[in-house]
Amino acid sequence: MAIRSSELLFIKSAKDGIPNRDPLADSDARRIFGEEDGRISLSDVSIKRDVRDYIQARYPDGGEDRDRYIFVREERTPEGKLMGRSSLVQKIFANAGVDIKSLKSTEDKRQALCSHSFDARAFGAVYSVSKENFHITGPVQFGWAHSLHPVETRYVQGTVVMPSADSVIKDGAEEGKTQGTIWTTWIAPFAVFAMPGVINATIAQQTGLTEPDIDLLLEALWRGTLFRQARGRGIQLPLLLVHVEYRDPFFRLGYLEENVRMETKTSQPTQLTDVSLNMNDLVDRLDAHRSQIARVRWWKNPQVHVIGDMEGQQEEM
């Protein structure tokens, strides 16, 4: 059954780290709105990476139907060389049991990639190798995630016990590097982010995106936030995920994240118990367009306090 056009609203928190750093700002947090505004941001690329890494880890064999391989990933040959687009596609086809010789045209290869690669089917892909090239527009698009409050990052320093090189014994005395190295980094003590997303039903028909794909996408947003770990990214937690499906494939409310207000007990919240998510404006907006909405589903972390009676059906992730 064809999927419906829909919108997503995903809210998550991060503690003692920065989920997406800006290489142009000495690896500090990304600030799209500037220092005076105070909010920090996460790129849509970083959130798609969470989704891809989760699906790749959960379905390394492509799943039962061999349709959940990840195209945009880092993989190396046995010799340690980084694989390019052509090699990655060939490996997906080999693992999926696709006879490459049967793909007579570029369009055949495009369709085969959509059939077996989840991220090509959902997010789109660019393939350009020698004389072969094609572009897949993805039906799923995320916006940037912005913090719902100003965030002050901190520049911190520490030491590593291990020295960077071995010391040597000369004339009975130890010489060389005998102390550990010093490290520095930026961290955000606490931040809550809201990210919008859209799913285009018309484009989904072109790539073959299905309802099970949408369910997997929602699962990967939630669980991928918990799965992808790195010390500098901080400890992250999914808080709220809302999925709104529309009856008309050409209708969309838009900017659902602007209908969420974060209420805080302090000017600089440092933990989840300091904040509440006020959803009343979003509830009113959904109610006003009830006739155009086919279904609302939402998932909530029990640790977060939500103000307002959410529309639709609460589900378990």
| List of residues 6+ apart from 80 with CB closer than 8 A | none
Instruction: Answer yes or no: do 30 and 81 share one domain.
Output: yes
The reply to whether 175 and 227 lie within a common domain is no
Residue 300 and residue 182 share a domain: no
Is the per-residue pLDDT at 292 higher than 80? yes
Q: Tokens 């969309």 sit at which residue? A: 252
In a domain, residue 39? The reply is yes
Give percent of the chain with pLDDT exceeding 70.
94
Mean pLDDT along residues 52-76: 96
User: For the residues 285-306, what does the mean pLDDT come to?
Assistant: 97
Which has more pLDDT, 262 or 231?
Answer: 262
Report field, pTM of the whole predicted structure over 0.85: yes
pLDDT value of position 311: 85
pLDDT in tens, 10-29: 999 999 999 999 999 999 99
Mean of the per-residue pLDDT values of the chain? 92
Shared domain check, 38 and 139:
yes
Q: Are 210 and 28 in contact (CB under 8 A)?
A: no
Bridge-based pairing state of the strands 168-170 and 124-129: unpaired
The answer to whether position 103 is within a domain reads: yes
Which residues, including other chains, have CB under 8 Å from residue 24's CB and lie 6 or more apart?
none
Span 207-220, average pLDDT: 98
* Among 129, 162, 186, residue at a domain's last position: 186
159 shares its domain with 233: no
Confirm if 51 and 142 have CB atoms less than 8 A apart.
Answer: no
pLDDT tens digit sequence for 96-114: 999 988 998 999 999 999 9
Average pLDDT over residues 240-254: 97
pLDDT at 172: 63
Based on the domain organization, do 140 and 99 belong to the same domain?
yes
Domain finish residue from 139, 169, 186: 186
Residues 172 and 232 in one domain: no
Where is average pLDDT lowest: 136-140, 174-178, 234-238, 240-244? 174-178
Residue 188 clears pLDDT 60, i.e. is over it: yes
In tens, the pLDDT along 80-99 reads 999 999 999 999 999 999 99
Indicate whether 136 and 262 sit together in one domain: yes
Angle between helices 211-227 and 44-58 (to 10 degrees): 100
Of the pLDDT bands very low, low, confident and very high (cuts 50, 70, 90), residue 161 is: confident
Q: What band does 164 get if pLDDT is binned at 50, 70 and 90?
A: low
Kindly state whether residues 102 and 247 are assigned to the same domain: yes
Same-domain pairing of 22 and 159? no
In a domain, 194, yes or no: yes
Q: Are 104 and 224 in a shared domain?
A: yes
pLDDT band at 183 (very low <50, low <70, confident <90, very high): confident
Whole-number pLDDT of residue 170: 67
The verdict on residue 175 lying in a domain is yes
Residue 232 pLDDT > 90: no
Per-residue b/e over 29-48, b at no fewer than 16 CB within 10 Å? bbbeeeeeeebbbbbbebbb
Has residue 1 been placed in a domain?
no
Same domain assignment for residues 256 and 310: yes
Q: Give how many domains the chain has, as a whole number.
A: 2
When pLDDT is cut at 50, 70 and 90, the band that residue 46 belongs to is very high
CA 278 vs CA 222, 265, 314: distances in Å: 20, 13, 17
Q: Which residue has the higher pLDDT, 317 or 5?
A: 5
Range of the domain at 215: 6-149+188-314
**What whole-number distance in Å separates Cα of residue 10 and Cα of residue 222?**
9
Beta bridge partners of 74: none
